Chain A
Amino acid sequence: MKGIENKIRHLLTLAMFLLSFSTLFGQATVTVWGNWRQNVEATEITNAGDDFPNVYESAADQSRLRVRRQPTSQLFPWRIDVRGDIVTWDNRLEIWIRRTNDGISITPGATITGGMVYQQISIFDQYFFEGNGSIRRIALQYQYRGVSVVIPAKTYRQTIVYTLTEL
């Protein structure tokens, strides 16, 4: 009987230890700033018979992303996946994304790789880039491709979802 009680006590102790460890060291978080609004107006066309420019590109740092975990001195491997949740869309339109800088290291020796070449965002999570340690001001740039007058005039929206996974 005492043996069982001891086991329970040990399990509870382990659970409390791990939970307080998790609280103390914190969960890594991803935070994104910066949305993108692009208007395509009649002035985009100078000659009747022409189409809209098919590609529109955002500023190089249209969104800024931060990966951080307490304590920030600690290196920890992570990965960012990206997907687009459709609010209002037309299948002929595409959103592409890339990373345009390495951000600013919060953790000494932090590293980041991947994501520097434009990739198309789909409705499914897909690998974007990965790193080690806390980093801020990772700049992200977007493109709309497939813009055309043949697509009905309307406001199209997508929510770009960034998912951080600790590895």
Chain B
Amino acid sequence: MKKTKHHITTLALILALSAIVSTTQAQVTDNANLRLKLYQLAFIDLEPDNGIISFSLAQPTNPGLPAESGNNNSKWINYSCCVKNSKPDRYITVEINNGSIPPGLELQLSASSYSGTGAGLLGSPSGTVVLTAIAQTLISGIRGSYTGNGANNGHQLTYNLVITDYSLLDYDQSSTIQVVYTIVD
């Protein structure tokens, strides 16, 4: 009997305390759901523009010396890239899309290491390539990154027009070629 009374007393105390708590310090919650979806993207362009670059073989400074071959480093390659974790690295290829190099010559191309105002996991140059109609990797290892926009951002491109066979050179011959850069995922 005593035990029962003790239990009732305890119960009454608990009830009283919980009632006091519930009337003085109620705490409730509600939620809002926020969702941010980032999509994959890959953009590439040439800066300061994608205008024509002209090369010409300069006369040697002295008879008997080789002709001066042409070079140009006025272009920069910019890109922005957003990638899923599950996807492989992206890379940039280069190829001649239209036209051909005159006989006796080859056009070499290399990209500098990254510099500029960008951030992220930027690509690395793959070394000098000799341009052909077959796509070759110029920059690899690109993940989520952006180079910054404009000249002096990204990878500086250096073209070298090299004489490979003097016997095939034709004084009057000229050619226009179109070079295409592709960011591949």
Binding site for B on A (CB under 8 A): 4-5, 7-8, 11-12, 14-19, 21-22, 25, 27-32, 34-42, 45, 47-52, 56, 63, 65, 84-85, 93, 95, 140, 142, 144, 147-166
Contact = CB atoms under 8 A, between A and B. Distances in A.
Contacts of A27: 22, 26, 28
A47 B31 contact: no
14 contacts: A18-B23, A32-B30, A49-B78, A49-B118, A50-B146, A142-B34, A148-B119, A149-B82, A149-B120, A156-B35, A157-B35, A160-B31, A163-B29, A166-B27
A78 to B, nearest CB: 9
B149 A159 contact: no
Nearest to A56: B36
A4 B8 CA distance: 11
Given A49-B118, A147-B38, 12 more contacts: A8-B8, A14-B19, A15-B19, A21-B23, A22-B23, A49-B149, A52-B38, A95-B34, A148-B144, A153-B83, A160-B32, A164-B26
A15 B36 contact: no
Contacts of A163: 27-29
Interface size classification for chain B: 35 or more
A149 B16 contact: no
B15 to A, nearest CB: 4
B24 interface: yes
A161 B27 CA distance: 12
Interface string B55-96: 000000000000000000000001111111100000000000
Nearest to A45: B80
B33 A157 contact: yes
B36 A42 contact: no
Given A48-B149, A49-B150, A11 B13 contact: yes
B25 A165 contact: yes
Contacts of A38: 35-37
Contacts of B148: 49-50
B153 A8 contact: no
Given A164-B27, A166-B24, A155 B36 contact: yes
A149 B71 CA distance: 34
B156 interface: no
